Amino acid sequence: MVSGWHRYNSIRAMQHEDVRKSGQTRRGYIIHPLRHGDIGFEHSAHYMCIYKKNTTYKNSIIIAGGTINLGYQAALKIAKEHPDYLIVIASRFDKENSAQSINKSLHQDNTIFMQLDLSDSKSVRNFATKRIADSTKPQIKALVLNAGLQFRAGLVMTPEGLEATFAIAHVGHALFLFLLCPHLAPDSRVVFASSGTHDPTQNTGMPEPEYNTAEDLAHSPEFMIEIPR
């Protein structure tokens, strides 16, 4: 949360450590002696931005698959519009340091990353168990179920015996919602994001869908999989 902008000439040639140790105040904010991590600095050509971490969020929003593409843009927009919300982006990994990128671009600190592998029911259950048990996190105001993964090279099965795309996009999300649903805020929202990959009107290079049963889709044998070359 941005607590104030100050021109460099208001503090002259003071460096980071000089400012932190000086004990000076700006608009009621003490720049000394806060604990490490309580205060942050951002620089530009003309300004120093001093922002104090918000530790009392009103609500939290969890975005599955929030590290790239649509999920990232959703996280960025929500974090910008609700600096008093804790935004949790959940994915297998965060190679792009998405949470850090959002915080830096907004001069905030309300976005965090938590590991979640929707293809693995143990990972889903562990995430839910830790989140429910963590009393320091605010109530869940919304779930954005956006994760998805496509495997073009051939059939991929999870260790639990499910076709991987189906496991991530459907089974994992369903279990995630089932576990967290009793712990959502009374006026919460659940948003599902779908894909147009198999829309016949879109030329994506993927074969047209052939739906028989959910069982066939979840446990697709090799002969049912046609991969375009």
Question: Which CB contacts under 8 angstroms, 24+ apart, belong to 124-131?
Answer: 124/172, 124/175, 124/176, 124/179, 125/175, 125/179, 127/90, 127/176, 128/176, 128/179, 128/180, 131/62, 131/180, 131/183
- Report, as an integer, the average pLDDT of 50-71: 84
Residue 140 resides in a domain: yes
Residues 44 and 68 in one domain: no
Q: What is the pLDDT of residues 29-44, one digit of tens each?
A: 333 333 334 444 333 3
Residue 229 resides in a domain: no
Residue 102 resides in a domain: yes
Query: Which CATH number belongs to the domain containing residue 183 in this structure?
Result: 3.40.50.720
Residues 79 and 28 in one domain: no
Residue 172 pLDDT > 80: yes
Q: What is the mean pLDDT of the chain?
A: 77
- Report, as an integer, the average pLDDT of 131-151: 94
Residues 179 and 206 in one domain: yes
Domain tally, the chain = 2
Residues 30 and 93 in one domain: no
* Local confidence band at 226 (pLDDT 50, 70, 90 cut-offs): low
Residue 84 resides in a domain: yes
Residue 29 resides in a domain: yes
Q: Give the containing element (helix H, strand E) for 180.
A: helix 173-180
Residue 33 resides in a domain: yes
- The answer to whether 186 and 193 have CB atoms below 8 angstroms apart is no
What pLDDT does 83 receive?
97
Residues 38 and 94 in one domain: no
Residues 197 and 86 in one domain: yes
Residue 132 resides in a domain: yes
Residue 75 or 21, more confident: 75
Residues 37 and 112 in one domain: no
Residues 39 and 79 in one domain: no
Q: What is the pLDDT of residues 108-137, one digit of tens each?
A: 999 999 999 999 999 999 999 999 999 999
Indicate the residue among 34, 52, 70 that finishes a domain. Answer: 52
Residue 182 and residue 74: Cα distance in Å, rounded? 24
Residues 64 and 48 in one domain: no
Full domain range(s) for residue 74 = 59-224
Residues 33 and 80 in one domain: no
Residues 132 and 170 in one domain: yes
Residue 3 pLDDT > 60: no
Indicate the residue among 52, 70, 90 that finishes a domain. Answer: 52
Residues 190 and 77 in one domain: yes
Residue 44 resides in a domain: yes
